Every structure is written in C-alpha cells, then in structure tokens.
C-alpha cells in the first residue's frame, strides 16, 4: 500500500476514535510496527497529529476544547495513577480545591477516608463527593455545558472567599516558556484565582499536554508542582519547577 493511503487510514482512525495506538493500527491494517511508527513520525512532521507513548492524538486546537465525555475516555489508566498519587498529598484537617477536570475527578475515590473539606467548580465532581460523603462546597455561576465546569463572575466572587491548603488543577497545555494554558479565558480565570487562594498547587497532566500552548495562560510553571505519567524527557520542565513523574 502506498504511503499516502496508509496516512489517510491512520488519520481516519484518529478522527473516529480520538486517539490511536500503534498496536491497534498494526492489528487492524496488517502493517508492520516499524511502518506505522514511521508513518506517525511523518504525519507529526506535517502537523497532522501528535505522537504520544504508544500511539498518537490529534493536534491541539488552542481555541477548541474537547467535551467532558471525550476527555474522560482518554488516558484512563494514566489518570487513575496520577489521581491516586495526588490524593496521597492530602492530609486530614485540610481544605482543598478540585478543578473540574477529568483527572481531578478520579481523585475523589481516594479522598473518601480523609477528614477534609472540598470546594469544586465541577458539576460531575459534586455528585461523586456527595456519594462518598465528603464535606463539600460547589461554586455558583454559569454552567459550561461542554466541560461541566461552573465559571463566570458569580463563581469568581465565591472563590475569593475561600483559602485552601492545596488545590489540584488540570491544564490543556504545559510549556516551559508559556506556562499552563487552557482555551477558555473565563475558565482560566477560575484556575488562576484558585491557585492564588491556595498555599500549594498541583497541576495534573498526561503526556499529551507537554509542549502544547492553548489560548489563555493561567499560571507560570513555577507556581505549581506538576504531576504526570509517561516516558517523556522532562528536563526542560524540571529546571523550572518540581515534576512528579508517576510510574504506573
């Protein structure tokens, strides 16, 4: 099969599924692993996709954000590992802020035995917190349907009232120069003020977010400890802030 046809098949699979794995492409199309890996390198050079460990994902659109459900279905194993590790930093007697992201959501099941208070702007989070009988508060404001986040002036006003021992945030982009970024300026503002209201901040990101820059910056790298998982070379980030690379 000619190279361009293989590339079309790979991109069609990526569009349909939202991510692809080398092993799955080898099995489905009966190409060699070396051929698939070479094709992914070529497609990345053309800015058609971004390679990640074991496969590829779409190139980030700095203005467009995936839905909560789409995000929830990606990097499931990695998110659980990061969430469990992040939850281990939470101590009894603390107040914490949980961002509305899908990785911070996974932390909730690991917090159920702790004597804490949680504030969140995540609609999905509040139901899980209630189910686990964790004392919690939810910010009021405008509901962002796509990500199930609460944003806007009302949410920001309420957020100003609280002080946190720790906050846990998600990010669409992590870059050594441009810092932490997200597509929505209103959601970025909530993240920014949660960080300012917290003694310690952790940003939980999978390997696909590194090197990416989204539309709105909400923090510099040195403002937070990064929790991630993967096989990336993170030396550029470790020069600027603390990076916890969780092995799972």
CA 234 to chain centroid, in Å, comes to: 17
Question: Cα separation of 239 and 176, whole Å?
Answer: 9
| 246 band by pLDDT with thresholds 50, 70 and 90 | very high
Determine the topology of domain 3-57 in CATH: Arc Repressor Mutant, subunit A (1.10.10)
Rounded to two decimals, what is the model's pTM?
0.81
Q: Which of 61, 132, 71 is nearest to 99 (CA)?
A: 71
- Per-residue pLDDT at 1: 62
Locate CATH 1.10.10.10 in the chain: 3-57
Question: Residue 127: is its pLDDT beyond 70?
Answer: yes
- Per-residue pLDDT at 41: 87
The token duo for 110 is: 């690991």
H-helix or E-strand spanning residue 23: helix 22-29
| Matching CATH number, 68-245, of 3.10.20.440, 3.40.50.1360, 2.40.320.10, 3.30.565.10 | 3.40.50.1360
Locate CATH 3.40.50.1360 in the chain: 68-245
Q: Coil, strand or helix: which one is 209?
A: helix
Question: Residue 190: is its pLDDT beyond 70?
Answer: yes
């Amino acid at each position: 099969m000619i190279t361009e046809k293989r590339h079309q098949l790979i991109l069609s699979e990526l569009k349909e599924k939202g991510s692809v794995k080398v092993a799955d492409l080898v099995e489905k199309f009966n190409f060699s692993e070396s051929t698939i890996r070479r094709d992914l390198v070529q497609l990345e050079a053309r800015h058609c996709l971004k390679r990640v460990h074991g496969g590829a994902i779409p190139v980030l659109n700095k203005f467009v954000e995936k839905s909560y459900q789409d995000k929830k279905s990606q990097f499931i194993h990695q998110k659980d590992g990061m969430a469990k590790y992040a939850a281990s930093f939470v101590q009894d007697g603390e107040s914490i802020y949980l961002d509305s992201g899908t990785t911070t959501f996974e932390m909730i099941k690991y917090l159920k035995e702790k004597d804490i208070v949680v504030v969140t702007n995540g609609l999905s989070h509040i139901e899980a917190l209630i189910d686990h009988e964790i004392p919690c508060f939810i910010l009021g404001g405008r509901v962002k349907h796509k990500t199930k986040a609460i944003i806007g002036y009302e949410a920001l006003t309420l957020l100003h009232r609280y002080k946190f021992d720790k906050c846990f945030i998600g990010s669409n982009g992590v870059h050594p120069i441009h810092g932490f970024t997200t597509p929505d300026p209103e959601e970025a503002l909530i993240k920014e003020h949660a960080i300012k209201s917290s003694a310690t901040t952790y940003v939980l990101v999978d390997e696909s977010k590194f090197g990416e820059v989204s539309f709105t910056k909400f923090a510099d790298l040195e403002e937070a400890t990064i929790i991630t998982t993967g096989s990336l070379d993170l030396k550029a980030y470790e020069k600027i802030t603390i990076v916890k690379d969780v092995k799972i």
